[in-house]
Amino acid sequence: MTAPRTLTVDPIACRAHGLCADELPEAITLDEWGYPILPSGPVPRHLVRRAKAAAAACPVWALRLASRAS
């Protein structure tokens, strides 16, 4: 079994391109300025592949998908 994964964003690096929300609208919404609002808990297993794609789509690498130690 793999460790739960969580999404984090570096608010300084983020430039509000919104590509992450385009890739993963089920988990990422945008605020009124276009910055991502991330889920507070782990990413559901069935969305991990798409969460990886969302992180990879970020042109400034501000979004990360990390394993959470139990």
Name the CATH code of domain 5-67 (choices 3.30.70.260, 2.30.30.90, 3.30.70.20, 3.90.1150.10): 3.30.70.20
8, 58 in Cβ contact below 8 A?
A: no
How confident is the model over 11-64, as pLDDT tens digits? 999 999 999 999 999 999 999 999 999 999 999 999 999 999 999 999 999 999
Spell out a b/e string for 20-45, using b for 16 or more CB atoms within 10 Å of the CB, else e.
Answer: bbebbeebbebeeeebbebbeeebee
The single residue listed with the structure tokens 């297993």 is 45
For the entire predicted model, the pTM comes to 0.88
- Phi and psi angles of residue 31, each rounded to the nearest 5 degrees, phi first: -80, -175
Q: What is the residue whose two structure tokens read 């394993």? A: 67
The pLDDT of residue 17: 97
